[in-house]
Amino acid sequence: MRCLILELKLGPILLLLICATITTKAAANGDGYKQCEHTVKKWAFSSQDSEIKDDKHVMRNLLFFLHVPRTGGRTYFHCFLKKLYANAQECPRSYDKLRFDPRKENCRLLSTHDDYSMMVKLPKEQTSVVTILRNPIDRVFSTYEFSVEVAARFLVHRDLTSLSRMAKRARLKAGGVSTLDIWPWKYLVPWMREDLFARRDARISKGQSYIITNDSYDMEEILMPLRDYINDPIAQEIIHNGATFQIAGLTNNSYLAESHEVRRCVLKYQSLGQYVLEVVKKRLDSMLYVGLTENHRESATMFANLVGAQVIAQLTKSSLNSDFSIANGSEQRSLLPNSKSDANHQENNSYRKLKKVSSPSKDEAENSNMDAGKLMEAYESCISSLRNSQSERRAKSLKRISPANFTKEARRKVPEQLLQEITSLNSLDMQLYSYAQNIFAKQQALMVQNMVRAENLPSTLDERAHNNSYSLPSWKVIVLATTSLLVLFFVFHFVNARRRTSKVKL
């Protein structure tokens, strides 16, 4: 009886405690959302780029190629940008941000996987930004496949310990930048590499008792299935909505301290992503060029005409100015009085150094004879060999995880439910890609307009010349006729005057 009374007394107290706990959690969640909303709104307001009055379609001194991973940017870098810019004009290898130095003299090209926060290190008024976007579903597939492909290269080693020793020696020997130094692969490849080694060890311990399916995206015994890959926290942090976060400057590789808190809030409260998306859309609007991976041919043609043609014009003008400066400097030196031989020797050395730095290189000389058409020809030739080498390397790597093989046919077999899940996880990127398609259509219309104008210009000039050719003789006829009339008039008066003189004599 006493226990029953005790329970009746404690029951309301426990109920009150439970209600208080629920209320406290709800209040905390509400405060958490409000705090995050304030953080994201504050960032969005501060990120509104100040208006630049110059025409966005006009190329500025520094070209910043914001390379969104798995969009075909490597092809653009090797087959377009390397054809346009000399090595001396490239900014230091910015794929590793520790090596980036924007103060480098004559730095005209920056190509990097770094996000938009890189702009804090650049002279904004002198920088033009270009980028390429890809259908988010295809980009997730490609990111998964490339992570596996690169990680599979390391399966030649018997275990991770021997791999670590070899990688350390190779890095010291090479002294360069490898895939493992580049964002986001410096996170994704080691993650996938450890998983491949673990699954290989498990297969060895099982012997031949495991079963392999025919679905390359669901071979659990060989590699991490795609469904597990897209739902892993690492994918949530780096891959999903990656294009939006990269152009926003909010990746885990950002230069801005506040970016990590903003990204955390957006990942926690998805509705706050719309504030980020609006900032990114405005940045796309202000870019010199936005390409689409799926519209490969049209994008390449547009890049050659909208970007390549302006780069060529800039480099040609820069080369002419350099030649003029050198010639002008030599004239000024010739006007100076002769001095001691040591001074003359020092001056000649300075002139030779100046000429070496200022005169156009072999690449620049070739660029001076290039136009958009020739640039496209060089691009087509380059991508053919580049794709062949990439295909061979991919096939060699995937042999190590056979029978897994990523093909278009294999992609078509992926369940619709999984595709819908990828779409949902990349909702911001899906909206951004749709917006980029509209920008692309406008750019294409502008390019066609400019090309038509350029084609019509010679005919207009010819027409004017043709009209002038007709108008010029008409003036000659008028002058000739006027002169003839004046001559006849004077002859007539002269004859009449002689007749009057003869009559007077008679």
In a domain, 4, yes or no: no
Structural domain contains residue 19: no
Q: Decide if 210 is inside a domain.
A: yes
Radius of gyration over every alpha carbon of the chain, rounded to an integer in angstroms:
36
**Residue type at 212 in one-letter notation:** I
Annotate 108-173 with DSSP letters as a single string.
Answer: -EEEES--GGGGGGS-GGGEEEEEEE--HHHHHHHHHHHHHHHHHGGGGSSSHHHHHHHHHHHHHH
What is the span of the domain harbouring residue 290?
A: 62-295+390-453
Asked if the structure places residue 328 within a domain, the reply is no
User: Domain with 144 in it: what CATH number?
Assistant: 3.40.50
Structural domain contains residue 352: no
| Pairwise CA distance, residues 165 & 404, whole Å | 28
- In angstroms, the CA 501 to CA 506 distance is 9
Tell me whether residue 279 is in a domain.
yes
Residue 262: count other Cβ atoms within 10 Å of its Cβ: 26
Q: Which residues pair with 128 in a beta bridge?
A: 63
CB neighbour list of residue 197: distance below 8 Å, 6 or more residues apart: 154, 155, 159, 160
The pLDDT tens digits along the chain (506 residues) read 554 454 555 555 655 555 545 444 444 456 799 999 999 999 999 988 655 556 788 999 999 999 999 999 999 999 999 999 988 888 876 554 445 666 666 789 999 999 999 999 888 899 999 999 999 999 999 999 999 999 999 998 877 776 666 666 555 555 566 788 899 999 999 999 999 999 999 988 888 666 778 899 999 999 999 999 999 999 999 999 999 999 999 999 999 999 999 999 999 999 999 999 999 999 999 999 999 999 999 999 999 999 999 999 988 877 666 554 545 554 443 333 343 333 344 334 333 333 333 333 444 445 557 888 999 999 999 999 999 999 999 999 999 999 999 999 999 999 999 999 999 999 999 999 999 999 999 999 988 887 787 777 665 555 555 555 444 455 555 656 666 666 666 655 655 655 554 444 43
73 Cβ contact list (under 8 Å, min separation 6):
65, 67, 111, 132
Q: Contact at 8 Å (CB) between 300 and 445?
A: no
Tell whether 422 is covered by a domain: yes
Residue 94 resides in a domain: yes
Q: Domain count of the chain?
A: 1
Q: Which two tokens stand for residue 276?
A: 């980020």
Q: What is the pTM of this model?
A: 0.76
